[in-house]
Amino acid sequence: MASNHTFTRRNMLGSVGAAAVLSSVSATPLLAQEESHGPTTSTVADRDRRMKWWHEARFGMFIHFGLYSVLGRHEWAMEMEGIPVAEYEQLAKRFNPKPHAARAWAQLAKQAGMKYMVMTTKHHEGFCNFDTKLTNYCAAKQAAGRDLVAEYYEAARSAGMQVGFYYSLMDWHHPDGARCAKDDAARRRFVDYIHGQVKELCSNYGKLDVLWYDVAWPLSAEGWESVKMNKMVRQLQPDILINNRAKISEDFTTPEQRIQASAEPWESCMTMNDSWGYNRDDDDWKSAKTIARNLITCARGYGNYLLNIGPRPDGSIPEESVRILTDVGRWMDQHADLIHKAELCNVYRSQVANFTRTGNKLYVHVHFWPGDVVSVGGLSNKVLSAKHYPSGQPVQFHQEDFRVQFTGLPATAPDPLVSVIEVECDGEPKQDMLNIRENRPRREVGV
């Protein structure tokens, strides 16, 4: 993943503050007005078939785990601190997680309401968590003495999760990882190495659901031979979903550390603090409320939310991650259908709430509970009924030309994270805020 220390399109959230970005996202339409390109090595029709489970899943767990976990200073430490390769390699002699640590990851994902998982098989550092025949710089041939990806795969499948593999194209360890950009013989060796490892990952574990490439430095799509590589992947794994980070359009886009919908299927990946890998000193944790709000925003825009954990070097999960995801899981226990069954929602403006939709039902997710009245402006539809969700207790409402007011509500929020009002409308819920600005009656210049 991208380092948070450089200002790029991927880390805008960390640069300007999570709350500010979340607030601006919640207040504006999500769908960008852009052309849909479709997958390069498949068809739109086949993509739609393969992605049915993914759209319903909506919420996934990202796991960053590797030698950087031993350092505990962020997954970019090798480059950011200029650590010599020979020095960094010594971490492989110390990286020996407890057996089957991934089972706790999978159970936490399930408890949080997540439906799929994506684990780093090789990050930018070049160390492989899987058993590969192409290098001895891998978990199976170093201190761990076993295939950590195989343990993860078993744990995820046992918990009923869909399984994804992350794989970094950029490699700080391989001798040809930089010179391949200027030396064609080096490029040939390096691309053969990368294609060979991708083939191993797609051949040695059974059915895969997601292949999640990252950072295609320093080559172009032509240099990586990305079309050839992805055609091989699809031949080996006909139902797999492939992201867009091999520099060609495929099944879904991947906005990082921000929520940005697109005409293509999209998945927003985010950290729980400011680090992807384990960082023992990073205490800038997002609250469970913020995580729930982000998830709702993704669901509103018909996108997915891939939320990261960074296990310690022994594979255990930091307590803050467990606490936050447990709280989110309690909310999901009552509200999962509003996420997994959400359709694209064209109601999006409020200072105190966000929205999801299923059919003609609008769900008003109130994160800043205002007391006994909740107002929604600009709703174009007639409201037929309203009730608390999930209790079903009726809610009184009064509808005027430019607003709907839900009244007689409790003074304190029914749910400490996000409280929901279910609103049945006479058609697909839509909102027209410009109508308020242009047509709401005005008075004199003075009062």
Q: Give the domain CATH number at 408.
A: 2.60.40.1180
The pLDDT score that the predictor gives to residue 1 is 77
Do 433 and 297 share a domain, yes or no? no
Do 259 and 308 share a domain, yes or no? yes
User: What are the CA-CA distances from residue 378 to residues 68, 345, 374, 431, 436 (Å)?
Assistant: 50, 14, 14, 5, 6
Domain contains 408 = yes
Q: Compute the CA torsion angle 98, 166, 125, 184 (nearest 10 deg).
A: 150
Domain contains 445 = no
Query: Is 325 strand, coil or helix?
Result: helix
| Structural domain count, the chain | 2
Bridge partners of residue 358, in order along the sequence = 361
Q: Which domain holds residue 357?
A: 353-438
Domain contains 447 = no
The pLDDT score that the predictor gives to residue 24 is 37
Do 309 and 400 share a domain, yes or no? no
Q: Which of 440, 429, 426 is nearest to 379 (CA)?
A: 429
Q: Which of 275, 310, 340 is the last residue of a domain?
A: 340
Do 309 and 365 share a domain, yes or no? no
Do 309 and 367 share a domain, yes or no? no
Which residues in the chain show pLDDT less than 70?
2-36
The pLDDT score that the predictor gives to residue 37 is 79
The pLDDT score that the predictor gives to residue 35 is 57
Domain contains 444 = no
Do 169 and 312 share a domain, yes or no? yes
Domain contains 224 = yes
Do 248 and 103 share a domain, yes or no? yes
> Cα–Cα distance between 415 and 413 in angstroms, integer?
5
Task: Provide DSSP, 49-71.
Answer: HHTHHHHHH-EEEEE--STHHHH
Query: Is 355 strand, coil or helix?
Result: strand
Do 314 and 291 share a domain, yes or no? yes
Do 250 and 321 share a domain, yes or no? yes
